Amino acid sequence: MRNEAFELPEDLKEKLKKAKKLEWITIVYLSTVVILMYLVMGSSQAMKTAWLEDALSIIPAISFLIASRIYNRKPTQKFQYGFHRVFSIAFLTGSIALFGMGVFLLVDSTITLIKAEHPTIGTIVLFGKQIWMGWIMIAVLIYSSLPAMYLGYKKLPLAKKLHNKILYTDANAQKADYMTGFAAMAGILGLGMGWWWADASAALFISFSVLKDGYTNLKDAVQDLMDRKPVHIKDEKPDELVEKTERFVKSWEWVIDAKARFREEGQVYFGDVQVIAEPGIDLSQSIEEGLKKLQEFHWKIYDVTLMPVKEIKDYSEKQS
């Protein structure tokens, strides 16, 4: 049980600082993208879809920045476990937004396609030349994809190190942003070729990808809040740290057997370890020492209860 403010290990503090900086850059950059896209999108469904996707992708960055101001506060009278879960909430919020928008875009694009709406795209005069707006849209789409990809690549390793899901999701979505960009470009080029359906088809493709991301994240966020066993953010495989902790406790002299269970609270794990102790030892003393050792074991193993029992209750028999 801990009552101090949470502190990351030194090397990770630096990573978090870097991540915050990148998220600030992301917000500024995406704001310019959203404004530019709004100005040029005209009646193109693909542009509208890509625009909404980009507008939405500001949410993870904002919620990460808000959450990262709160998560490490000292536990209070009211919030006695601290504020770690604020990251899980931020993650849930972001994924609901993404999922909802995915549904909306899918329906909207399908209707556009069924109604066979022919998007009308006009022209603009730039430097005294008459230019089809489609070309401008494509230029803006390039501006919306390439820097986003770069930011995504920069954020990805930080997210893995920090075990921060919202940062990871954000980075991953941005890394894949070129897909949206290219799909929208293909739609606009198709329009230019006289295929009116190209635009709405591209929009449909993009909304599928938004919906897929939204669904995966939503599932993940709900499972985290349901206290699922901790998993790696990269591949959803169970984190071996739980087993390692269990082995670590078992290795103590006074412990005959032990069983650990943990849940994710944002970036860190909370949980309990049942222990069968050797008879005749000073139990309270041993547990105090054990807790201290666990605190130094790994930064992610943050808040642990050591529970002396006569018989271990195994809740992990069934795989599900």
Where on the chain is the footprint of other proteins (CB under 8 A)?
Answer: 117-123, 125, 130, 132, 134-135, 182, 185-186, 189, 191-196
**CB distance 230 to 247 below 8 Å:** no
Smallest gap from residue 172 Cβ to other proteins (A): 20
Residue closer to other proteins, measured from CB, 33 or 185: 185
Integer Cα distance of 175 and 51 in angstroms = 17
Smallest gap from residue 38 Cβ to other proteins (A): 18
Residue closer to other proteins, measured from CB, 166 or 184: 184
Smallest gap from residue 196 Cβ to other proteins (A): 4
Residue closer to other proteins, measured from CB, 196 or 299: 196
Token pair, residue 206, equals: 């993009």
Smallest gap from residue 124 Cβ to other proteins (A): 9
Integer Cα distance of 214 and 27 in angstroms = 20
Pairing of strands 129-132, 301-308: unpaired
- Tokens 């921060």 locate to 164
Residue closer to other proteins, measured from CB, 143 or 299: 143
Residue closer to other proteins, measured from CB, 65 or 189: 189
Integer Cα distance of 137 and 140 in angstroms = 5
Beta strands in 64-210 (DSSP E): 123-126, 129-132
Smallest gap from residue 182 Cβ to other proteins (A): 6
Residue closer to other proteins, measured from CB, 100 or 192: 192
**CB distance 148 to 22 below 8 Å:** no
Smallest gap from residue 313 Cβ to other proteins (A): 55
* Other CB atoms within 10 A of residue 31 CB: 13
Integer Cα distance of 225 and 216 in angstroms = 14
